[in-house]
Each structure stands twice: as structure tokens, then as C-alpha cells.
Amino acid sequence: MSSSLQPAAAAETADSRPAVSRPLAVALLLVWPAQLLTVVGSIGSNAMPQIAEHMRTPHIAWFTVTFVLVSLMTVPFAMKLGSVFGKRRIMVILTAAGLVGDIVAAVAPNFTVMLIGRAMGGFYGPVVPLVMASVREIFPRAWVSTVYGIITGSIGIAQVGSPLLAGWLIDDFGWRAALWSLVISTLVAGACLLAMPETPRKGTVRNFDWAGGLLLGGGVALLVFGIGKGGSWGWTAAGTMICLVAGVAALVGFVLVELRVQQPVVHVRILARRAVAAAVIVPSLVQGVFFVVPTVLTFLALYPAIPHVSDGLGWSVTHTAVVGIAAGVVTVLAGVAVGRLLRRTGPRLLWFVSTGTLSVGLLLAGLYHGDEVEIILTGVVIGLGGGMLVSTVGSMIVSVVSLEDQPAASGISSLLYQASGALTYQLLFLQLDDHSTVMRGVTFYADAGFRNAYFVLAGLVAVGFLLTLGMPRLQRPEQALQS
């Protein structure tokens, strides 16, 4: 490794922040890199039906799954290397790798090449947790809360605006234009990251937990692959069983390794405390389920209505985005409301309200999804529960861990919800594929598949609600920060 990449001889302390002469300008620079995954997810998801038809592939689910898997496997390594060599440097390298992947996907002549590009694009995934971890290191203490508010508040703009952007691009110019917009978006994110100050460098790569990172990524990848192939191979087939058993064994091995090494890639020991485990594990998994929800509406709305073949609604991407505006606005307002409610009550009550509302909304969506009015009304309920849920999960982590442990807990939460999202994505397509028809290489879905997909999502959220009934009382975030 070249000398330019060697960590500083003396690690800087946590309070050794670089001088930021214009904190507001730097905060605004971080907004786009932090929200790029939201934009990528929305535009990519809306392009998937056209890509499936053009590429004649029944395996369109892997368009997203490959991206998420690479992102998941990269996160623990990126977080560690960011501490050693500086987070900005690692984010720029990851963004460059993701940019190459975006270009490959945009020019791909076939679906195999496109999946290679999407896998490379997944290297951008760790940039989001790295951005959030950088805030505490590069801004004065008085600005930290404000910067977090600016970054998280911009989620609403991305959630409402990106579907409309996707509609304009795909309806007027086609799916390749949508993928080229991701190239431009990644370029802009890279430019923003180059303009931010570097974070302090701490620690060395000596004794780095390579085994833990490989076991974690490999275990999740095997489970996702096994679940995805279970429907076609058969759940008792040797290939399926080998993937599932090996995946579970790898994750068990990961936990055992993390408990023994001095510098674990994931600090699982903090989950030994009951309150921390209750506030981090299940909530993060349920959050991953929520982020998969829009996929069902995308395929329901954009696929055509063909008697006895496809029960889609046949809408344009723009029409679908307009129908979804109400749900997007409610999601944003629900998040804002949680911030105000947390001043008077702890996150435990809000967690139960959010998961209960979300599960009911998903159940209603499974029953009623035949026209604009039904989708708007059920979408508002889903948005209310989901918006509350996302904001509440973050406050739960703050409520149960110390300031020093917050980066580790946030990293665990990020890994869990990405893993949950990948697994849920495969479960969702299993339901769709059980009620599907392949015509000219394209898989079309019957209404029973959409209904069952919503029911499965509702059931997963409801299980999360039940598993947390014994959750201890949690402090309000401001009380935890003062203690």
C-alpha cells in the first residue's frame, strides 16, 4: 500500500475535528450523497418492468438483489477502513466504483452484463452510513444536531421528487435514460464528497476482522440466494438446503468470531443488553421490510392488464408517481410529527403505534388495490405507519446506547435492515411467482400474487410488533443524551 494511504502515526481523538469554516455549506454538500440511495432505489425500481420486458428475463428481482448484497457485504469493511484512512477517501473510492457499475448497467447489451453493473453499483451502498458517521467528526458540537436534521429532513424531498423524476425519464425517454440519470447522480455525489473535509484517522488495519466480514456477507448472500431459488429448485432440494444451512452456519460462525476478536467488524457485544437488543434488532429488521413495500405497487401499477395473463393496472410511471404523492407527503409529515411527539413520550409507544398502523395499511392494501382511490387511501395509511416507523427506529437507538456506542449501534442497524430488505425482496417475489405466467420470456403476475405479497409484508410487520411486546420502557432521546 502506498505511503499516501498509510494512516496517521498518532490516531486523532474523537474531539479532534477539522475546522469547518462554513458548516451550513458543508452540510448541504452531504445531502445528495446521503439521499442518493433513495433516488437510485426509486428510479431503478420504476425502470424494472421495462427492463424485464426489453431483456426478456423472468429474473428481474436480481436487478435489486445484486445491488443490495454487494452493499451489505461492503458495509463492515468500509466502516473500518473509513476510520483508518479517512471516511472521505473511502467514500470517494466507493463512489468511483459505483459510478463504473452505473455506466456498465446503462450500456448493458443483456441482463447478465446489467447484473454485473448493478453489483458494482452496490459499492456505493456504504456511503450513506459513512456520511452519517462523518457528521459527528467534522462538525462543531453545536452543529451536529442541525446537520442531522438537514440530512434526514431531505429524505422527504427525495421520496416525493424521485418518483416524479423517474416518471418523466422513463415515460418520455425510456429505461436507459433512467439508468443514465443514475450515472449523473453518482457523479454529482462524488463531486460533493470531494469538496467535504476529511475525517480524523484512527486505528490501523492490523488485526482487522476479515473473517467476521466474510462470514457476515457470505452468510446473508447464501440465505438470499437459497430463498430466491427455493421456489424453482424446490424447498427440499439439495441445492436449496445446502444454501440455507450453510448461510445459517456462516452467521452463527460470524457471531462466535465477533465475540472473540479484539477489533470486531461489528460490535455485537452491545446487543447483550436487553434494552439495546430490543431497540435495535427487530426494529431494524422491520424497517427493512418497509423499504421493500413500494416494489409491490410498482409492478402492480406498471404491468399491463392482459386477460388470464397479467392483472396489472397498466399505468404510466408518471401516473403512478402522481397517485403516490399523497402517501409520500404523509410519510414525511409522520416523520416530522414523531420528532415533536418524542418531546413528550418515549419511542416505545410510538413504535407500537407505527407498526400497528403499518401492518393494518398493508393488510388493507392486499384487500383493496384495484383503482386510484383504493391505492391512495391505503397508501396514506402505509405512509403514516412507515413514516413514523423510520423516525422512531433512529430515536430508539439514541435512547438505549451511549454516545460512544451510537456509531456501532447505527452500523448494526444498517446491516440488519439491508439484510432484511434483501430477504424480504426474495420472499415477495416468491409470492408473485406462485401466481405468474411467462410469455415471450417475461413474467406477468396475477392479482392473487399481489394480494399475497401485501399479506406477507403485513404479516412480517405484525410479527415484529409481537416480538417487541416485552420491550422495556425507553427513555426519550433528550433524556438519554443528558444522562
Would you place residue 118 in the very low, low, confident or very high pLDDT band (cuts 50, 70, 90)?
very high
Would you place residue 407 in the very low, low, confident or very high pLDDT band (cuts 50, 70, 90)?
low
Average pLDDT on 25-35 reads: 88
For the chain, the farthest-separated pair of C-alpha atoms sits apart, in whole angstroms, at 69
pLDDT over 50 (residue 6): no
Contact 199, 134 (CB under 8 A): yes
Secondary structure element (H or E) that encloses residue 100, with its range: helix 87-107
Lowest-pLDDT choice from 292-306, 330-344, 351-365, 431-445 = 330-344
User: What is the reported pLDDT for 246?
Assistant: 93
Tens of pLDDT along 175-231?
999 999 999 999 999 999 999 888 888 767 677 788 888 888 888 888 888 887 887
pLDDT over 50 (residue 14): no
Q: How far apart are CA 57 and CA 51, in angstroms?
A: 8
**Where are the domains positioned within the chain?**
21-199, 209-264, 272-483
Q: Is 88 helix (H, G, I), strand (E, B) or coil?
A: helix
User: By percentage, how much of the chain surpasses pLDDT 70?
Assistant: 91
Arithmetic mean of pLDDT over the chain: 85
Q: How far apart are CA 347 and CA 337, in angstroms?
A: 12
pLDDT over 50 (residue 10): no
Among 3.20.20.10, 1.10.3720.10, 1.10.10.10, 1.20.1250.20, what is the CATH number of 272-483?
Answer: 1.20.1250.20
Would you place residue 481 in the very low, low, confident or very high pLDDT band (cuts 50, 70, 90)?
very low
- Per the model's pLDDT, the better-predicted residue between 473 and 108 turns out to be 108
Q: Which residues pair with 444 in a beta bridge?
A: 437
CA atoms within 13 A on the CB side of 66: 21
Tens of pLDDT along 223-256?
888 887 887 788 888 888 999 999 999 999 998 9
Q: Is 311 helix (H, G, I), strand (E, B) or coil?
A: strand
Looking at residue 183, its amino acid is V
pLDDT over 60 (residue 1): no
pLDDT over 50 (residue 9): no
Tens of pLDDT along 278-329?
888 999 999 999 989 999 999 999 999 999 999 999 999 999 999 999 998 8
pLDDT over 70 (residue 398): yes
**Burial of 307 (C-beta count, 10 Å sphere; 0-12/13-18/19+):** exposed
Of the candidates 182, 164, 152, the one whose C-alpha atom is nearest the C-alpha of residue 40 is 182
Contact 258, 403 (CB under 8 A): no
Would you place residue 136 in the very low, low, confident or very high pLDDT band (cuts 50, 70, 90)?
confident
Other CB atoms within 10 A of residue 234 CB: 12
Contact 115, 144 (CB under 8 A): no
Q: How far apart are CA 309 and CA 324, in angstroms?
A: 26
Q: Is 358 helix (H, G, I), strand (E, B) or coil?
A: helix
Would you place residue 479 in the very low, low, confident or very high pLDDT band (cuts 50, 70, 90)?
low
Tens of pLDDT along 150-178?
777 677 678 778 888 999 999 999 999 99
User: What is the reported pLDDT for 3?
Assistant: 38
CATH H-level, domain 21-199: superfamily: MFS general substrate transporter like domains (1.20.1250.20)
Fold equal for 21-199 and 272-483: yes
User: What is the reported pLDDT for 2?
Assistant: 40
254 contacts: CB under 8 Å, gap ≥ 6: 212, 215, 216, 219, 266
User: What is the reported pLDDT for 117?
Assistant: 97
Would you place residue 11 in the very low, low, confident or very high pLDDT band (cuts 50, 70, 90)?
very low
Q: How far apart are CA 384 and CA 72, in angstroms?
A: 28
Secondary structure element (H or E) that encloses residue 443, with its range: strand 442-445
pLDDT over 90 (residue 276): no
Contact 203, 7 (CB under 8 A): yes
Would you place residue 364 in the very low, low, confident or very high pLDDT band (cuts 50, 70, 90)?
very high
Secondary structure element (H or E) that encloses residue 439, with its range: strand 436-439
